[in-house]
Structure 1
Amino acid sequence: MLNFNKSVRIKKRALLLLLFALALSVMTDVMAKANATTTSITAETVIVVNRYGMGAPFLVTWIPVWLFALAGGIGAIFIKIPEIDKHFRFLMFAKPFLGVFGGISLCVLVSDGSDPPQVAMTAYAFLASLLSAPLLQALLAVTSIPRNQASLFNAINPFKFKVVVADSKEKEHHNAHNND
């Protein structure tokens, strides 16, 4: 059972994640509105591809965006949320990985894959990867808990049966009873 001090700490950390999500959505909205005035896709729009047939973000002009996204992912290592961090084994690799690909995917979404990207996209890539890493990590941690998976399955299950996850105390009691 949680005592009052722990529950207050958990609420503060959940509030921190909500603050990250709010900041990320506001930044994305601002970048999308700034990009909407400069990028207009018409019938004459030419998609830039490299010699391997790959477009943005795999172009040379996107290297600064990748570097700033990597820096933001590395910076996400220093955002500690113990309730979420305990679900990951290799935290030093997981947070930068989630941050880089979360930041790059948001940059591609905001820029519509335009080449070259806006100059402000590098700063956005840093902040987007810094903030999206803990959010993606929390999403993965919450969805990996069997009780949450069962409740989601029961909510969308069109059949009459329910999925029940045994509690760890029930498992210990059951194993102790079988050993006797």
Structure 2
Amino acid sequence: MIQLRKTQIAHNGDAAPFAIRAERASDVVAREALLDACFGENRQLRTCQRLRDGHTPAEGLAFSALAQGRLVGTLRLWHVSAGDISALVLGPLAVHPSCRKLGVGAALIKHALIAAEVRGHRAVILLGDAPYYARFGFSAAKTGGLSLPGPFERDRLLGLELSDGALDGASGMVVPGGRSLPKIKASRAKKAQLAAPRAA
């Protein structure tokens, strides 16, 4: 069995190392700013956001990457039901532009997948670039029968089995699962979404 390390450090030549750790409450402002910078302020309107709205990330599966004390990457996984199959959805993954050639994104993904497997999760799905995610074992082989609550490109809906056969027969709508946010936080998130400029 693969051992999960609490902190993963990567070095790249003369560049400062980065460390991956569990997300903390103190990361929220920097995380949100990073996500806005990477995906735009209308990111709340994306289809996969429907799977996160009003819910908390899966326990122990929200991670931050830091370099010289600054948050440079973020990745979270969320409970979903993929048809009748319990799974996780990965995302959003964001890396600060200054660190994109350091392997931060790949390290976050590998760290998160090991953590998910150690916690007994059996499958992960995501909406993303197939050539990039194929290196981690994701493919569209078993996601053809799944749908998302909004527009999406079929070839970008990918899955990874952490246990053999976990996505066998997966079909139907992918819907959120897991713990709901307290109503006050959920209300604030909805107001922010409604206040965001609409995409043309």
TM-score per shorter chain, which class? under 0.3
The higher radius of gyration belongs to: 1
TM-score, reference length from structure 1: 0.26
By percentage of residues, which structure has more strand? 2
